[in-house]
Structure 1
Amino acid sequence: MLPSTILVLFLCGIFNDVISTPTPPQAVLSVDATTPADPPAQPAGRKLRGRFLHVTDMHPDGYYRAGASVSSACHSNKPRKEKDRAGWLGTPYDECDSPFTLTNFTLKHLDKHWADEVDFVIWTGDSARHDNDREIPRTPSEIYNLNRAMTKRMEEVFTSRGVAVIPSIGNNDVWPHNIMAAGPNSITNEFSNIWQSFIPFSSFQVFQRGGYFSVEVIPNEVAVVSLNTMYFYDSNKAVGGCEYTEKEDPGNLEFDWLEVQLDLYRNRDMQVWISGHVPPSPGNYFPGCFVKYADLALRYQDTILGHLFGHMNADHFFFIEKDDLDLPEENSRARRKEMLDEALLNDFSELPKEGKTNLDEFAVVNVAPSVVPNPYVPSFRVFTYNVTGAEEDGGIEARRKKKKKKGSKRKHGHRRPEKDRPAKECKEKEERWECRPKKPWYSDASAPSRKNELWSPLGYAQYWLPDVGSANDTHGGKFKLEYLTYGLPSLRGDKPIPAREVPGRLRNGSYNGRLVPYSMDDLTIGSWVSLGRQLGNPKKRKLRKRFRRYLYLGLEDDVD
C-alpha cells in the first residue's frame, strides 16, 4: 500500500499547489457504490465545443524519487553520473513511471487550458505503476488507491464542470499484472466503487459483471463505449480467448453485449466511439477475439465514428480490413519482433491503389501515446468533431424531433464482401469462426465515419512535454504543440482549437511542415486510407521520417 503521506500529497496536488487541510485517504475509500449517479452529459446551458480529450497510461508511482537511480525504476540509490538519475518531473526514454509531480502537473495543465474547452474525456486506463521493482512488489490496495487518487483528480478537473469522463480498465490496473478472471469479481467490484461517478446507473450491473459500459455523452446523438480489453488480451491466461464453442467465455459475452449496444444505438440513429486500453490487433488479441472485433468494427461502420486505444505508449494508427475476418495466420505472432514503424509502413504499402479501394472494407484504429515518459515523453491529444447545425433552430432536441418526424435515413444492411471460398470448406452448422453465420453489413458512404457531416471526426492536436527530463522545481516544464492533423487553412480564429493553443507562426499563416505534416481535411476513413497510402510509398521519405518521429515522440531525428 502507498505510504499515506504520499497518497495525501497526490490527492491534494500539493506538489504543485499549497492547499490547506489535506484530504485523508480514508475519505476516498469510504464512497458508497450502492447508489451511483449518472455521469454528466452536456447539461442544459453548456454549449457544445466540438472537442474531446483522449488521455491514457498515466502510471503514477508513489515510490518515484527524483535523483534516484534509473536502473532501480527511479526508486532508490543515487548514481554518480547525473545522466543516470531520475528527473524531477520524470525520466524520458527509459523505464521509470510517472512521479506525482508529473501527473499533478499534467492535470493542472488540463484544468487550466482544456477543461472548459472539451465536451467529454476518453481515459483509456493504466492508472497504476508497472510491476517493475522486485524490492517493492505491487499490491491490490496500492493499485486501487492510485486509481482512486487519479479518479478524484479527474472528478475535480472535469466532472465538476459537467464534462463526462469515460475510463477503461488497463492491464496494469489489475492484480496480478495482466490477469483478470470472469466477473463479477473483486476487480469489477472495486472499480464499480471507484468509478461510480462515471458509470451510468443503467450500465452499473453490466459493469459489475464484466468491467465494461457505455454512456451517452451527447444524449440521443453520440455515445462512448468503454470496453474491458482484458478479456481479449492474449496475455490474460485466466480466460478462454473467445473460442467459438465457449459461449460463456467472458470475451464472447462482452462481444455479445457490444453487438446489442451497437444495434440499439444504430436503431436510434446515434453515433458511437469505441474506446479501450489494449488496441485490437493480431499481436495483442487472442485470434478469436480479434476476428470478432474486426467483424463488429466492419459490420457497424455506419454507426462507429472511430476506435481509440492506449497501452502501446506510441503514437500510431492502423487499419482493420476485410481480410481480418479470417483467423490470423500463425506468422502474425512472429511479426511482433518487427519494429512497429516497419510493420505499419509495410502494411500501408499493401493498401489498394486509389480507385480500386472499397472503403466499406476498412475501419481505423487510433492509438494515443502516453502521459508516462516510458519509454518516450508525456503527451495527450485533443480531437475535434463536426457540430455544425447541432445547436441551430432550437438545438439538438428540436433537430432530433424534426428528423424523427421525417423518418430515419439509415440504410438497410447489405451482404458482406466475401472472399472466394469453396462451399465444401464448411460443413453444415460446423462450429468454427470461419463458418459463422453471415450477418448484415452496415456501411454507408454518407455516414459520419465516411463523409464530413454532423459528428464526424475532423482532426486532432497532439501536445507533448519535450523538456520533461530537464525540468526542475525552479524551472518547470511546458506542454507544447507537437503536431496537428489539420491543414494550415483550418487554423483560423478559434477553430478547430483555441487560437491561444496554436503557435503564433501557424496562426499567422506561416507553413511549418513539422507542426502540420499531414494536412488532412478530416478524420474520416477515406482520409486515413489516403494518408496510409502516402506513408506506404517509399518515395515519400520526408513524410515517412516525420511519421516515425511522431510514432516515437522525438526519439527519431526531425527533418525540415
Structure 2
Amino acid sequence: MRGLTGAVTAVLVAQGLAAPPVQYPLVQQLSDGSRTEPQYEGAKKRPLHGRFLQITDFHPDHFYQIYSSTDSDSACHRGHGPAGIYGAETSECDSPIALVNKTMEWVAKEFKDKIDFVIWTGDSARHDNDDALPRTASQVLGLNTLMVQKMAEVFGKHNNDDDEDRNPNNDFIIPIVPNLGNNDILPHNILSKGPNRWTREYSSLWRQFIPESQAHSFQQGGWFYVEVIPHRLAVFSLNTLYFFESNAAADGCSVRSEPGYQQMEWLRIQLQFMRERGMKAILIGHVPPVRQEAKTSWDETCWQKYTLWTRQFRDVVVSSHYGHFNYDHFMLQDFKELKKDTKKGRMKAAEARAQDDSDDMSPLVKTDYFIQLRDQWSSLPSPPTKSKSSNFLDVLFGKKKKAKKEFRRAEKKYIKKIGGPYAERFSASFVSASVVPNLFPTMRVFEFNTSGLDSLDTMAAIPAPAHFEYDTSDAEIERKKKHKKKKYKFVVPDGPNEDAGPGPAYLMQPLSLIRYTQYFANLTFINNDFSNHSAEEGGVVKGRKWHEGKHQGRKPRHEPDPRAFGYEEFYDTRDDDVYRLEDLTMGNLLDLARRIGDFVPESDMDVLAEPKLDVRDDEEVEAEDEGDELDNDSEESSSGGKKHKKHQKKKGKHGRKHKKKKHDHEKENEAWYTFIHRAYVATMEREEIEEEFGR
C-alpha cells in the first residue's frame, strides 16, 4: 500500500483533480429542449442491462493512519491501536483512502460494463470528529473532488480527446447521479436557503452530472433530475438537508418561503411533467425519512408532504433510495398516517424542536429504533388463513361451506385494509448501508424490469424541465413572522388518472424493481490483523456514542499483511431462503415487513393463539379506517411532543395465545433475526442479536 498520509493526499487532491472528465449521457440535454445527436458512437450501441448501482457514505479521510488508535480522542488519526490498512471496521473512524481506491477498483472490475447508471447518495467527506483536526471548506470540497475523480476513473470515457467538444455533460459512459450529504457542507447539517456558497460550489464540481438546463435550479436549491433512460426513467436527486430536523437553517415544508416547501413544489411540478410524458421516476436522497420515537430524521411537515406526494404519484414513482443511516434496511410510509389537513392542502408551521447536530445514535437508541420498527410492523393487516381442520360432520351440517364464505369475506376486508390488491396504502424507502466501515463496507446493485425498453427511441430530444418559479423571499424574515396556529395552504398533487393501472412500485411492469444484491467487504478477514477474536473482547460499549470497534484495545501485527481485497455477495433478496421476495413490489415488501413484525419473544412462545378471521361488515371496517386517520389537533402529547399512533403496538393479533413447538417458533422469528443480521452487515453474532433484540 502507498503511504497516503494527510500531506501526500492533500497534494493528490490539489493535483489533477481540478477538471475531472464530464458526464456522458445517452442524449445531450440542452436548455431549449432542442434535439442534438450524441457525440460518441457508444450511445447508440450501449445495451440496457436492467441494473443500477447504489453506493453511499464513503467518508474518505486523508488523515487516517494505519495502526492508529480508534478511541474518540484519536479517531484513527494518531496513537497506536487496531486501525487496519483498509479501515477500522465497527468503529466510528472514517475510511482510509486505500479503502476508497480498492472499492472503486472492484466496482470497475465487476460492474463497469454491467450497469445502466449509478446513484451516489452523499457524504463524500470525512466527519468533523477530531477537535485537533477541524474540517475546513477546502478539505470538504477537496475530498468531494477526489470522489468525482474516482467516479471518472471507473466510468469516464477515456478515449474522448475531442477538443471541440465543449458540452459539460459528455464524458461519462453512463449517468452518475450524485446527492448532497449532511457532511458535504460546513458546518455539517447546516444548509441555508440557496443560492449559497455550497450550491454554487457543487454546481461547478458536479457540472458533468447536472443537466445544463437545470444548473440554475440546482444553484437555487441543490435539487435536480437526470433522465437516466431518456423518455422513460428519471432519477430525482432530492436535497434532504432541507427536510432534515438537524438543519437549524431550515424550518420544515409548510411555509412558502422555506426551501423545503420550494423543493416539494418543484418535485410536484416535475413529477406531474413526468406523468404527462408517460415517464417513471426514482427518488434518491441522503437522509432517509426515519420516523420513530427513538429516532426521527425529517421535520414532520416534510414527512407529511413527502408521503402525500408518494401516494398521489404512485403511478409514477418506481422507488426511493437513501443513505446516511449506515444500517441496511427499509421502511414503509403508511398513507393512513397522513393527517386530514394534509390531504386537504393545509398545514401548520413546523414545530420547534431541539437541535441534534450529531451524526450518530447510541447503541441503545439504535436498538430501540429497530424494535419500534418491528412493533409498528406487528400491527400491519394480516391476510386470512384457511382452516385445515374439517371432518364429515362439518360437511354434513354445512360448516365447511360457511367457513369458505367467511374466508372470502375476510379476504375482501384484508384487501380493503391494505389499499386494494396491490397494497396501495403504502410506499417504501430503501436505506443502504455505507462504504465507511462503521460496520463492514457495503454497496448494492438493483435489477429492474426491461421488458419493451429495447425498442425505445432514445435519440429523440429531451425537453427542458417544467417551468418552476423559485420563491426568493427571505426565509428568515418569514420565519419570524409566521404564526404557529396558522394553517398554510398548498396545492395537493393530482392523483393517478382513473384509467391508470397500478404503478411500477405495485405491479410488475417495465422499470419495476425485481431484486437487489447486497455486497460487503469483510475487513476483519481482509486486513488480516487479528485471529480467533472472541465476541467478548472489545466491541461497542453500550450507552456511548463513539464506537471504538470490535478490536478496541488490541495490538495488531507489526507490519500490515492484508489478504486480497474484494467485496462478496452478502444476500440476494430473490434467491434467499428467508426473504423469499419474488420481486420488490409493494405486496412482497408488505409481506416481508409483516413476517418481521410477527416476532414472538421466547417467553411468549407457548401462548399465542391462531388469529381469527375478520368478518366485520364494510361499515365497521370503514369506521375503523376513519378512526385511524390522524387529526392535526390530536397529535400532541401532554408533554408537547409528537405522538404517532404507529408507535403504539396494537394488542390482539399477537396477544391471543396458542401453543408453538420450538422449531416453529424459531422459524417464525427467523425473518426478524435475519433482518437485524443484515441491518448490522454481519457484524453481530446470532447470540448477540438474540440477546439484544430478542425482547
Shared fold per TM-score greater than 0.5: yes
CA contact (8 A) 1:38 1:199 kept: no
Q: 1:257 aligns with which of 253, 266, 271?
A: 266
Partner SS state of residue 383, structure 1: strand
Q: Name the % identity.
A: 35
1:175 Cα deviation after fit: 0.0
1:397 Cα deviation after fit: 1.9
Q: Does 2:302 correspond to 1:289?
A: yes
CA contact (8 A) 1:210 1:254 kept: yes
CA contact (8 A) 1:124 1:277 kept: yes
CA contact (8 A) 1:174 1:187 kept: yes
CA contact (8 A) 2:326 2:432 kept: yes
- In the aligned structure 2, how far is the partner of 1:365 from the partner of 1:148? 29
CA contact (8 A) 1:179 1:236 kept: yes
**2:447 — aligned with what?**
384
Normalised to the residue count of structure 2, the TM-score between the two structures is 0.64
Partner SS state of residue 297, structure 1: helix
- In the aligned structure 2, how far is the partner of 1:398 from the partner of 1:220? 7
**Count of aligned pairs between the two proteins:** 473
CA contact (8 A) 1:92 1:469 kept: no
Q: Does 2:565 correspond to 1:484?
A: no
**2:495 — aligned with what?**
441
The superposition leaves residues 24-71 of structure 1 with CA deviations (integer Å, 9 ceiling, x where unpaired) of x25423679xxx877456821000000000000000000000100111
Spell out the pairing of 1:21-420 with structure 2 (5 A cutoff).
25-29=14-18, 39-40=25-26, 43-71=43-71, 72-78=74-80, 84-160=81-157, 162-242=173-253, 244=254, 246-282=255-291, 283-326=296-339, 339-354=368-383, 355=411, 356=414, 357-358=418-419, 359-374=423-438, 376-391=439-454, 395-397=455-457
CA contact (8 A) 1:87 1:469 kept: no
- In the aligned structure 2, how far is the partner of 1:54 from the partner of 1:134? 32
1:7 Cα deviation after fit: 3.7
The superposition leaves residues 119-146 of structure 1 with CA deviations (integer Å, 9 ceiling, x where unpaired) of 0000000000011100000011100000
1:116 Cα deviation after fit: 0.8
- In the aligned structure 1, how far is the partner of 2:448 from the partner of 2:329? 19
Which residue identity does 1:442 align to in structure 2?
Answer: P
1:338 Cα deviation after fit: 5.6
Q: Per the alignment, do residues 203 and 400 of structure 1 end up closer, same or farther by CA in structure 2, a change over 3 Å counting?
A: closer
- In the aligned structure 2, how far is the partner of 1:92 from the partner of 1:516? 28
**2:595 — aligned with what?**
534
Q: Per the alignment, do residues 381 and 448 of structure 1 end up closer, same or farther by CA in structure 2, a change over 3 Å counting?
A: same
Q: Which moved more, 1:230-239 or 1:435-444?
A: 435-444
**2:581 — aligned with what?**
520
Q: Per the alignment, do residues 149 and 253 of structure 1 end up closer, same or farther by CA in structure 2, a change over 3 Å counting?
A: same
Structure 2 residues without counterparts, runs of 5 or longer: 28-41, 158-171, 343-347, 355-360, 384-410, 462-484, 528-559, 600-664, 688-695
Cα RMSD, aligned residues only: 2.8
CA contact (8 A) 1:231 1:250 kept: yes
Q: Per the alignment, do residues 69 and 399 of structure 1 end up closer, same or farther by CA in structure 2, a change over 3 Å counting?
A: closer
Structure 1 residues without counterparts, runs of 5 or longer: 12-24, 79-83, 402-429, 488-514
- In the aligned structure 1, how far is the partner of 2:288 from the partner of 2:125? 19
Q: Does 2:676 correspond to 1:548?
A: yes
1:95 Cα deviation after fit: 0.6
Spell out the pairing of 1:9-20 with structure 2 (5 A cutoff).
9=12
CA contact (8 A) 1:159 1:165 kept: no
CA contact (8 A) 1:90 1:468 kept: no
**2:512 — aligned with what?**
456
Normalised to the residue count of structure 1, the TM-score between the two structures is 0.79
1:285 Cα deviation after fit: 0.6
1:182 Cα deviation after fit: 0.5
Which residue identity does 2:210 align to in structure 1?
Answer: I
Which residue identity does 1:153 align to in structure 2?
Answer: K
Higher RCO structure, 1 or 2 (CA under 8 Å, sep 6+): 2
- In the aligned structure 2, how far is the partner of 1:526 from the partner of 1:400? 35
- In the aligned structure 2, how far is the partner of 1:436 from the partner of 1:260? 13
1:341 Cα deviation after fit: 2.1
Partner SS state of residue 43, structure 1: helix
- In the aligned structure 1, how far is the partner of 2:64 from the partner of 2:460? 51
- In the aligned structure 2, how far is the partner of 1:31 from the partner of 1:523? 36
**1:503 — aligned with what?**
none
Q: Per the alignment, do residues 481 and 337 of structure 1 end up closer, same or farther by CA in structure 2, a change over 3 Å counting?
A: closer
- In the aligned structure 2, how far is the partner of 1:69 from the partner of 1:439? 53
The superposition leaves residues 515-560 of structure 1 with CA deviations (integer Å, 9 ceiling, x where unpaired) of 543121111111111111111112521121111100111133249x
CA contact (8 A) 1:549 1:558 kept: yes
**1:5 — aligned with what?**
8
1:241 Cα deviation after fit: 1.7
Q: Per the alignment, do residues 439 and 107 of structure 1 end up closer, same or farther by CA in structure 2, a change over 3 Å counting?
A: closer
- In the aligned structure 1, how far is the partner of 2:52 from the partner of 2:66? 33
Partner SS state of residue 461, structure 1: strand
Q: Per the alignment, do residues 134 and 442 of structure 1 end up closer, same or farther by CA in structure 2, a change over 3 Å counting?
A: same
- In the aligned structure 2, how far is the partner of 1:159 from the partner of 1:558? 42
Q: 2:523 aligns with which of 467, 470, 477?
A: 467
Q: Per the alignment, do residues 159 and 452 of structure 1 end up closer, same or farther by CA in structure 2, a change over 3 Å counting?
A: farther
CA contact (8 A) 2:268 2:493 kept: no
Q: Per the alignment, do residues 105 and 302 of structure 1 end up closer, same or farther by CA in structure 2, a change over 3 Å counting?
A: same
CA contact (8 A) 1:89 1:468 kept: no
Q: Per the alignment, do residues 55 and 362 of structure 1 end up closer, same or farther by CA in structure 2, a change over 3 Å counting?
A: same
Larger Rg: 2
Partner SS state of residue 134, structure 1: coil
